[in-house]
Amino acid sequence: MRARALYRTRRVIEGAHGVRILVNGRECLNFCSNDYLGLAADPRLAAAAKAALDAGGTGSGAAALISGYNREHQALEEELADFLGRPRALLFSSGWAANLGVIRALAGRRDSVIADELNHASLIDGGRLSGAQYLRANHADLNAWAVALAAADGEQRLAVTDSVFSMDGDIAPLPQLAELCATRDATLMVDDAHGLGVLGPHGEGAVHAAGLGVPEVPVYVATLGKSLGCGGAFVAGSEALIEYLIQRARTWVFSTAPPPAIAAAARRALRIVREEPQHRERLLANVRRFRAGARQLGIPLSDSETPIQPLVLGQEQRALDLSQALFDRGYWVAAIRPPTVPHGTSRLRITFSAAHTAEQIDGLLEGLATGLK
């Protein structure tokens, strides 16, 4: 792995995980976080968590079905369901746990799972571990999806896709996928991890932005650790779906419930998303500024209008070298290599926050242009 420039190491952050961070003892600007709205270091979230810590301590102590289900958990589920216009929501400890738990609960050996080939690893593993017939469709290729859905011969068909693809920043053709699923009597499950808080008229996510609801997308998954700046994840859908998952989603049934303080912080973050659209507006303005500057400088970005802006470099070592050159200038942009992305597509995955300033973005552009030369 070392010889092929695929070895990975961790860098240690001290203090808050905001735009300005202390990495291995060195201050730099963070351009590789999923903290899209800049809420991870927002003192209002910390205050909400602290109040919950003072009132109820640190841990939930047990799985939700035993004694771990706190009033903060219940309130967060209710507020998420209301925000998304869905009957119910169910809180999970992580996005990984949510995707594995949902897919394995809804699909088994007699069923079919149809998936976009560039889905997140948690969706891939959930499909494979379910034991269902597993069919992959070429990325965002509607013809390939139609062929895969036609080939699915399971008793139940579960179609699974990311909304915003985490390494490319592009958006799945959700309206067309929903229409295809309707023709094949397939249930559509969407992981909106990178859409919630960013897309939609009020940050409701990619599904809402596409004009779709519970009938077209019965299974909706999103995380709390990205735009909401906290941790955990949730599934939202019908009363029957949530009650079924409470009985059958093993990653929920057998996991200790998340700390109530994290749920309290997520509730505060959700209020900010609903009441302060300026964060989302500033985020998207930052993306537009970066893309315009990249065009002027001849920096070849992928086609993405989301806060995920990939610069595909190909070779692993080239991605590492450019990442290090930027770090030496005070900009942290992680190099993404296989197996996270396919061989030959190593890249810098540049991501933006509402907390970035115009000057910081312009400095990054200058560093990229110099490093590429």
Q: What angle do CA 24, 97, 117 make, to 5 degrees?
A: 90
Domain ranges across the chain: 13-30+277-372, 43-275
Q: Is 226 a catalytic residue?
A: yes
Tokens encoding 307: 């806060």
H helix runs in the chain, sequence order? 43-56, 71-84, 95-106, 121-129, 142-151, 174-183, 206-209, 239-248, 250-253, 260-275, 278-297, 316-328, 358-372
Average pLDDT over residues 351-373: 97
Residue 333 DSSP symbol: -
SS3 of 211, please? Answer: coil
Task: Please give the C-alpha separations between residue 20 and each of 261, 288, 329, in angstroms, as whole numbers.
Answer: 25, 21, 14
From 122, 130, 163, 194, active-site residue? 194
Angle between helices 358-372 and 278-297 (to 10 degrees): 30
Average pLDDT of the segment spanning 1-26: 89
Question: Which of these, 302, 281, 280, 277, lies nearest to 291 by C-alpha position?
Answer: 302
Could you give the maximum distance between any two Cα atoms of the chain, in Å? Answer: 59
Which pLDDT does position 370 carry in this prediction? 96
Quote the tokens at residue 6.
């695929």
- Catalytic, 194? Answer yes
CA distances (Å), origin 40, targets 34, 199, 238:
10, 18, 30
Q: Which of 21-30, 83-92, 171-180 has the lowest mean pLDDT?
A: 21-30
The answer to whether residues 90 and 77 touch, using CB atoms and an 8 Å cutoff, is yes
Is the overall model pTM greater than 0.85, yes or no? yes
Confidence of residue 200 (pLDDT cuts 50, 70, 90): very high
What is the rounded average pLDDT for all residues in the chain? 96
The answer to whether residue 11 scores a pLDDT higher than 90 is no
**pLDDT beyond 90 at 242:** yes
Tens digit of pLDDT for each residue in 252-268?
Answer: 999 999 999 999 999 99
Marked catalytic residue, from 93, 166, 304, 346? 166
Domain spanning 13-30+277-372: CATH 3.40.50.150:
no
Tokens of 197: 């808080």
* Range 43-275 has CATH code 1.10.357.10: no
Residue tagged active-site, from 33, 94, 112, 226: 226
pLDDT tens digit sequence for 298-317: 999 999 999 999 999 999 99
Q: Which residues are annotated as a binding site for substrate?
A: 8, 120, 340
For 144-163, how does the pLDDT look when each residue is reduced to its tens digit (9 = 90+)? Answer: 999 999 999 999 999 999 99
Residues placed in the known binding site for pyridoxal 5'-phosphate = 166, 194, 223
- Give the residue ranges of the annotated binding site: 8, 120, 166, 194, 223, 340
In the residue annotation, 166 being an active-site residue is answered as yes
